[in-house]
Amino acid sequence: MSSSESDTLVADRPCNGLAGLKHWRHDLTAGLMVSLTSLPFSLGIAIASGAPPIAGLMSAIIAGLIFPFLGGSFVTISGPAAGLAPALFAAMLALGHGHLDTGYPLLLAVICIVGLVQIVLSYLGAAKLSAAFPVSVVEGMLASIGLMIIAKEMPHLIGHDYKSHAFFGMIAETPGQIGSLDLRWTPKTGPLGMLN
């Protein structure tokens, strides 16, 4: 590599904050493509966590607008973490003693406290410890998130609310709910008997 090529690579190194906006035309196109993926992803994570869908949307907006100015990686996208969906769902149920509506406001307070702890750990350089987790643990966690999203979407597919909000309860309830599925097509209900 010649010295001029090396100088070009150094000059084009990505930057955070306002200095990173020098290629804003390309970033605008990339941001549009990321938003098309991030929108349903964020809504799905919120639903899998037991939170209102708007919470996932707000998380994506805040992460996309604020994090680039605070620092971070140039090759990753900041947004809601799918890996936390099972933990958030379990915490919401535990804090609300089985009721999601009661546990949700308490979970928001816990998230604020955890955010402050993360800032302190980031300042201390504790991120290097994440390499200690085996890949199989991460893959298993991501698989469980996919299963949770499927289970949480089953009531929407069938068109009936489930009595259970827990994963295994929803799986056990699904065969009985399928029997009440209305497969007739009418102009009023549309496909699968669901209201338009």
| Site of tokens 């509506």 | 101
Q: Which two tokens stand for residue 194?
A: 């669901």
Burial class (CB within 10 angstroms; exposed 0-12, middle 13-18, buried 19+) of 46: buried
* CB-CB contact of 16 with 3 (8 Å): no
Give me the residues paired with residue 190 across strands. Answer: 186
pLDDT (tens digit per residue) in 126-165: 877 777 878 888 788 888 888 888 888 888 777 778 888 7
Cα(192)–Cα(159) distance, rounded to whole angstroms? Answer: 8
pLDDT (tens digit per residue) in 20-59: 677 778 778 877 887 787 888 888 888 888 888 888 888 8
Q: At what angle do helices 85-95 and 100-123 cross, to 10 degrees?
A: 130
- Is residue 183 over pLDDT 70? no
| Site of tokens 């987790």 | 133
Q: Which two tokens stand for residue 148?
A: 């949770």
pTM for the model stands at 0.54
8-state DSSP, 186: B
* Torsion of the alpha carbons at 103, 104, 106 and 111, rounded to the nearest 10: 130
* Torsion of the alpha carbons at 26, 35, 69 and 18, rounded to the nearest 10: 30
